Amino acid sequence: MTSAEASPLPVAIVAGFRRAVEVVAEAAADIERASRRAAELWEAGGRLVYVGAGASGLIAAQDASELPGTFGLDKSRIAMLLAGGIERPFDIDAAAEDDREAGCAAIMALGDLSRSVVLAVSASGTTPYTLGAAGAARDAGAYVVALACRRQSPLLELGSASLLLETGAEALDGSTRLAAGTAQRCAMGLFSTLFGEALGHIHAGHMVNLKVENEKLRQRAVGIVSDIAEVEEEGARNALRLAGGDVKIAILVARGAEGPGAAAQLLSQSRGRIPLALASLGRAGVASGFMGLGPQIGRAR
């Protein structure tokens, strides 16, 4: 082996990562259908619940934790059920994943789930805690998205939507955080991103409902408003200031809406969808003769 060649283990691990991405691509249509249904239930007032244990649960927890900031989702409507609890991720009781009744009880404690989505994740598809939660969720009328990496696993039988990510044997026997973990992370990232898109929180490749909570995100928001509204950055900053940092409202203000209140009304009428709101704004502009940007916003590019 030359210095430019990798030893067998990293080659095998990377091959597993490639295989993981390929199986997610094969399941992409099913993932998209599940995400669209999930968005419908969210708009009907439901919740989004992630369930898992061990590495699968921690990957699910990461995806869940990113949604409020990325898409501006109400964190009170997102739950993460991790076997052993999420408070001490470095000291989780491994035996907790064998407690099927605990998974069932955790779901039942959430109350009415008849309009909610439960995303249940297990590499083997046999984890008792996750099976208990998925079964109880199904019995409670939830839309269960079951994700497993083994064909004919019990978890897939419990799903309203069953997503098989068959990654095969791991390069490191038993370490499901590698190929299986990569497939799970990719699948959940695809699911939650398409979920955000279906809710109208993605437009022209931008996260138009992100929470502007630090300097990096403030700069990102300026770029988003500037790009979509086709104004200079200074105009985008002014629009964001008038909108109190709300990116969607700022886009409409920058495009000529008569203040944040009018922009908010357009968004409400358009169910938060920027294309519909812009189309309505255009029609209103033609009728009232105020198409384009006011002098307080900045010149168009």
Which of 128, 134, 132 is closest to 147 using CA atoms? 134
Helix residue spans in 27-153 (DSSP H): 28-43, 54-71, 100-108, 128-139
Which of 129, 113, 132 is closest to 48 using CA atoms? 113
Would you state the structure tokens that stand for residue 68, as one six-digit string?
């409020």
Q: Is 213 a residue of the active site?
A: no
Does residue 73 contact residue 104 with C-beta atoms inside 8 Å?
Answer: no
Phi first, then psi: what are they for 80, rounded to 5°?
-125, 115
Q: Is 97 a residue of the active site?
A: yes
- Report the distance separating Cα 40 and Cα 46, nearest Å: 9
Helix, strand, coil tally for the chain in percent (to 5): 55, 10, 35
Which of 196, 212, 204 is closest to 272 using CA atoms? 196
Going by C-beta distance under 8 Å and a sequence separation of 6 or more, which residues neighbour residue 208?
200, 201, 202, 224, 228, 247, 248, 251, 274
What SS3 class is residue 233?
A: helix
Selecting among 43, 66, 166, 232, the annotated active-site residue is 66
**Which residues are identified as catalytic?**
66, 97
